[in-house]
Amino acid sequence: MARFTVLGTAPIPNQQGELRLLSRNNEFTIKIAGVPGDLMNSRMHASEDALATLACEHIKKEPKPQVLIGGLGMGFTLRAALDSLNNNAQVTVAELISEVVQWNKGDLGALTNHPVNDPRTTIHVGDVGEVLRNSTAKFDAILLDVDNGPEGHTSDDNGWIYTPEGLKSAKSALRSGGIVAYWSAGVDSAFTNRLRKAGFNTKPVTVHAHTNGKGARHVIWLAW
């Protein structure tokens, strides 16, 4: 079997650690150096797709939808969102690590037909929390996939979006009738309760990681 080749590295802001982009044949993976397992893998993106399609279904009647995505990753959520939205949509992607943006403009772009180049896409290199704190009634949908979910954080900054303050900011950033979707690697009943205490109606949805409907199951909270 072919070995993975390192295509790029990036320091994790405010954390001792390094992201690595690797490839093997037509497979790509992003790992945290020294940590077992993949952070992202191009063969397992069904739940990232679902993060976008489930939320965008909720706003399909909006004539000019405004969408915020927290975390670019390998671009699968962005691609699914663009494919689900009309030509008048505007999608802002907040990505903390600038190298991840460059990877999507380069080696990763072909996986998803280069969604960062779509004229509806705006890339904000920075913390999605900053965008949430500075936005009031701006977005019809907010899609958040910045880490492994409420329980595990690659960067300390990521944890804020799951706190009561972070949930309050997300709710404030929504337009009337808008929706927030949170991706997680696993179930967290405490987070469901936190969303409800923040004033959201919420529905956790379990989805498969693989596009063939097999393998690990991930969770998406829809909150409105």
Continuous segment of H or E residues that includes residue 109: none
pLDDT of 51-84, one tens digit each? 999 999 999 999 999 999 999 999 999 999 999 9
Using only C-alpha atoms, the chain has a radius of gyration, in whole angstroms, of 16
Query: What pLDDT digit, counting tens, does each position of 164-223 carry?
Result: 999 999 999 999 999 999 999 888 899 999 999 999 999 999 998 887 777 789 999 999
The CATH number of 43-223 is which of 3.40.50.150, 1.20.210.10, 3.40.50.300, 3.40.1480.10?
A: 3.40.50.150
Start-end of H helices in the chain:
46-58, 76-84, 98-105, 128-133, 164-173, 189-197
pLDDT tens column, 91-114: 999 999 999 999 999 999 999 999
- Reference 188, options 201, 174, 202; nearest CA is 202
| Buried/exposed 47-66: b ≥16 CB within 10 Å, e otherwise | bbbbbbbbbbebbeebeebb
**How far apart are the C-alpha atoms of 116 and 146, rounded to whole Å?**
17
Q: What is residue 210's predicted lDDT score, i.e. its pLDDT?
A: 82
Mean pLDDT score, 138-167: 81
Return the domain boundaries, the chain. 43-223
**pLDDT at residue 154 tops 60:** no
Residues in the chain: 224
pTM for the whole thing?
Answer: 0.93
